[in-house]
């Protein structure tokens, strides 16, 4: 599990999740945990957490879960639908995403993620993502 978590952090280097500062803390086929230490560049011009940062954290956690859960023969995936409900915000501290599978089929996977503010325990957002599995020819 620790080895897989390190693999995802290494794989993210040079890509959008690492650019934002997203760090995997736990990756396994049944649960993924990521965190993001908030910085000024994560905030919208109004001074509150940008919804795009929250969605990126949640989407990345679901994506890592999908990759860790690919069935035999599947090479990758692409997101075909996502939805988020934003219930709160933050200006500082760390936000965390916990993603768990709802459906792990041979052609699609569905993952739910909950994003919380670590320091207060407040739910920031709930997220659902559907992924289409890609098979090599």
Instruction: Match 């994506």 to its residue by tokens.
Output: 63
CATH number of 2-135: 3.10.129.10
Q: Where are the domains of the chain?
A: 2-135
Q: How many CB atoms are located within 10 Å of the residue 104 CB?
A: 18
Q: pTM for the full model?
A: 0.95
Q: What is the pLDDT of residue 1?
A: 60
Residue ranges of the chain with pLDDT lower than 70? 1
């Amino acid at each position: 599990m620790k080895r897989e978590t390190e693999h995802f952090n290494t794989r993210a280097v040079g890509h959008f999740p690492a650019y934002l500062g997203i760090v995997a803390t736990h990756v396994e086929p049944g649960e993924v945990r990521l965190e993001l230490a908030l910085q000024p560049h994560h905030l919208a011009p109004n001074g509150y957490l940008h919804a795009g940062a929250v969605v990126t954290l949640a989407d990345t956690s679901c994506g890592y879960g999908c990759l860790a859960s690919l069935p035999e023969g599947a090479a990758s995936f692409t997101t075909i639908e996502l939805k988020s409900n934003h219930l709160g915000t933050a200006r500082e501290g760390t936000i965390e995403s916990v993603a768990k599978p709802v459906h792990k089929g041979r052609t699609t996977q569905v993952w739910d993620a909950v994003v919380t503010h670590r320091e207060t325990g407040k739910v920031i957002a709930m997220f659902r993502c559907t992924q289409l599995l890609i098979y090599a020819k």
